Chains A and B, each alone.
Chain A
Amino acid sequence: MDIELKHIDFAYGTEGDAGKRAAGKRQIFADFSYLLREGEILCVMGASGCGKTTLLKLLTGQLRPQCGLIRGMERREISMVFQENRLCEEFSAETNVRLGCGRGYFGGSGRADIGRHLSEVGLCEAADKKVCSFSGGMKRRVAIVRALMSESDLLLMDEPLKELDAATKKAVTAYIKKYRGNRTTVIVTHDAKEAGAFGGKLLVLDKQAQPPKRDRG
């Protein structure tokens, strides 16, 4: 099922976002519309504060638009790489991945495959170590494996390659492309080269995002 965002208005500091009301109103989306086809990859780019992460939060339901509607999100199972890793720091990499797979393992691969997936992103030795002892890049890779292995039909990734060196970026990009399957995928990035490596469509958001400025098929 396609996901359709129709005439979305969203501003921080309004009724829909009580938490940031005190900071004053900041318009992010005004009459924003976009159609995301089932199974495609969409790379979202734009300057800081233009609404890339906000777009993901609207898709997950963490934020609600003040106007407009989002279709095609009913009964969707979402897995996500958050901007911050959001891992259970006192648990091992393996347990973190297992916890993300409570509703099942994507592609039918079971719990036994967690070690293999972690090896593919260079975490073979660290699988049973506590995440709190990991570097930023290692934590990032655990978060990516968790999202990829989790049974879902929508994959959201907020700057998945941040904190990774060039060689690891290449390996992790290949890993993501290999295991995303046919899931609809939205990837937020600052880097045009990264977006190019993932392929798929490109959506560049402006500040106070209007309808997309550029759309590459």
Chain B
Amino acid sequence: MACSKQKPYMEKAAAVAAALLVWQIAAMALDQKILLASPLEVAAALGVVLSDGAWLHTIWFSLLRIAGGFFLGLLFGTLLAVFAARFRVLKVLLWPYMAVLKATPVVSFIILCLVWLSAKNLSVFISFLMVLVVVYTNLLNGLCSMDGELLEMARLFQMRPAQKLFAVYLPQLRPYLFAAFEISIGMAFKAGIAAEVIGVPDGSIGKMIYNAKIYLATPELFAWTAVLVCISVLTEKAALWVLRILYENLEHIV
């Protein structure tokens, strides 16, 4: 079946409106605010949350730590993938760690890491772990499927290392890098906030969600979740935009 690509924003907006309508009808049918708050109640709770001046500080606290974990994961995932692609022994040695990271539920890591780390910085480490494994796996796949013929061309014409990076490696890694970014940013937020909900550090989004759950303040719980979804989506869009700009200007860099 052919997929229409016309007016994707309109289609997405219509899908969101339809989902909100379904949600509103379901909430009205259930008529239990504690079990399912309606979109209007969530909007009201969101207004209350945003009217308190502390919300920016709360978002900043969580965003800073999750972004820190993301960049650390990106850095170490890239370095490990580069070395693992170059040295097979490292790829083999890293395999058990990556397999464990992929298969273990994130909550197991969070509880385990709470023993070693302060609750305040737990989300940095948990986000780092989740991003590390995604970036490592994607980039390693990309590096292992590089076009050997282009590399041979670069060797023969004695391209400089920077030219090889920008003209040969990065263009071929494009789908792997985009996939790594798309997957890992969402995962960093999910895992980071899960770590905050369990660690409950003061001034974090995770603590706000935890408190809302304790006090059965479902509209507030939904409101903070909505804030989280917005930050996650906006961060992902911004990161992909930066990556796209980088790729559009590769030729000028090289």
Contact = CB atoms under 8 A, between A and B. Distances in A.
Dominant secondary structure of chain B at its interface with chain A: helix
A88 B171 contact: yes
Given A95-B251, A95-B254, A88 B158 contact: no
B251 A92 contact: yes
Contacts of B168: 88
B251 A150 contact: no
Given A82-B153, A99-B167, A102-B163, A90 B158 contact: no
B254 A99 contact: yes
Interface residues of B, number: 16
Dominant secondary structure of chain A at its interface with chain B: loop
Given A84-B149, A91-B254, A95-B254, A78 B156 contact: yes
9 contacts: A79-B156, A82-B149, A86-B149, A86-B150, A88-B171, A89-B171, A91-B254, A102-B157, A102-B158
A62 B163 CA distance: 21
A62 B251 contact: no
B177 to A, nearest CB: 14
Interface in A181-215: none
Given A91-B251, A95-B254, A99-B254, A77 B158 contact: yes
A173 interface: no
Contacts, number: 48
Interface residues of A, number: 22
A170 interface: no
Interface in A102-118: 102-103
A102 B167 CA distance: 12
A160 interface: no
A54 interface: no
Contacts of A60: 152, 156
A99 B163 contact: yes
A80 interface: yes
B7 interface: no
Nearest to B170: A90
A74 to B, nearest CB: 15
A90 B156 contact: no
Contacts of B149: 82, 84, 86
Given A86-B150, A91-B167, 16 more contacts: A80-B153, A82-B149, A86-B152, A86-B153, A88-B167, A88-B168, A91-B254, A92-B251, A95-B254, A99-B157, A99-B163, A99-B167, A101-B157, A102-B160, A102-B163, A103-B157
B198 interface: no
B159 interface: yes
B93 to A, nearest CB: 23
